[in-house]
Amino acid sequence: MSESVKTLPAPSPVEAAGQTLSWRDFLELTKPRVVALMILTSVIGMLLAMPGVPDWTVLVLGNLGIALLAGAAAVVNHVVDQKVDTVMARTRKRPVATGRIAPVDAMIFAATLAAVGMLVLMVWINHLTAWLTLASLVGYAGVYTLFLKRATPQNIVIGGLAGAMPPLLGWTAVTGQIEGHALLLVLIIFAWTPPHFWALAIHRKEEYAKAGIPMLPVTHGNSYTELHILLYALMLLAVSLLPFVTGMSGGIYLIGALVLGLRFVYYAIRLLKGDDRRVALNTFKYSITYLMTLFVVILVDHFVFF
């Protein structure tokens, strides 16, 4: 062996894996598409909180702070789930799972995002929003990812509360207080989360079983899960009508919520009848379209109604 080869530094895990680390890996850790949908719901929470449009500083800095803390929670999820993620095909290429980003670097990244997010919310928004957002981070990264995910098939039902918080966070950023109408929006996302996730869990059941995660289809089978998807879809349909029933929204929203909700119920019935992995994946995809469209419709209704 020549001298020059002997003195070469040892390859880093990244070089060893033949991959180059890029800013995209750090972005991926923050689950940007999930956070984007959350921010859509927090923006709409802000716009519904008052007549007219809130100050742009609240819109920009409020959502920035919420997104930074949600992103930080997602980064911690990658670190806590490092081993689990290496087992599942869907997640095994993630930056921490492959070793492209060391857990300690990911945690420094998460701490930085969370600190900046808290600073923005504390200084420019209000303390209530800052503490509620931090509680959501702890709820998802700590309570759900560390404990519930491995403990019970009801993991995502309870843990879903953290992900359902953004419309309330947007609302409190504008008003500084928790109000009933904001809680209705939280309730909608809370009821939406189980059918959203269980549809995917049916599609990926074998992987969750391999990883030893007690998701409902693994512990109770597909038929039981499909029945619960249908029951939650029906509950979601009922809950989604509450903004109309309470006078928060008008006729445009009512029609939108009925059409979107009945379509969700239709998907759930097809799933229950067919027990088909493809239908499960389509139901999961529809769940995202559903939530996005429902929130856009409630916003359109708000501006037409007032």
Ligand X SMILES: CC(C)=CCC/C(C)=C/CC/C(C)=C/COP(=O)(O)OP(=O)(O)O
Residues near ligand X (CB under 6 A)? 31, 34-35, 38, 69-70, 73-74, 77, 81, 91, 133, 136-137, 140, 145, 149, 162-163, 165-166
**Whole-number minimum distance, CB 219 to ligand X, in Å?**
15
Tokens of 306: 């007032």
Range in contact with ligand HEM (rule: CB under 6 A) among 15-23, 29-37, 235-243, 268-276: 29-37
Range in contact with ligand HEM (rule: CB under 6 A) among 22-30, 193-201, 239-247, 255-263: 193-201
**Pick from 22, 4, 20, 3: nearest CA to 12:** 20
Sign of CA dihedral 281, 157, 64, 57: positive
205 binds, among ligand X, ligand HEM, none (CB under 5 to 8 A by kind): none
240 binds, among ligand X, ligand HEM, none (CB under 5 to 8 A by kind): none
Build a one-symbol-per-residue string for 284-303: x at contacts with ligand HEM by CB under 6 A, - elsewhere: ----x--x------------
Which listed residue (139, 163, 217, 256) binds ligand HEM by CB under 6 A? 163
Tokens of 235: 């509950």
- Residue indicated by tokens 């599942």: 88
Nearer to ligand HEM, 160 or 170 (CB): 160
DSSP H stretches of helix in the chain:
3-6, 13-16, 23-29, 32-48, 56-57, 63-80, 82-87, 95-98, 103-124, 127-137, 149-151, 155-164, 166-175, 180-203, 205-211, 216-240, 242-245, 251-274, 277-305
* 30, 71 contact by CB (below 8 A): yes
278 binds, among ligand HEM, ligand X, none (CB under 5 to 8 A by kind): none
Which positions lie near ligand HEM, rule CB under 6 A?
33-34, 37-38, 41, 90, 144, 156, 159-160, 163-164, 189, 193, 196-197, 200, 288, 291
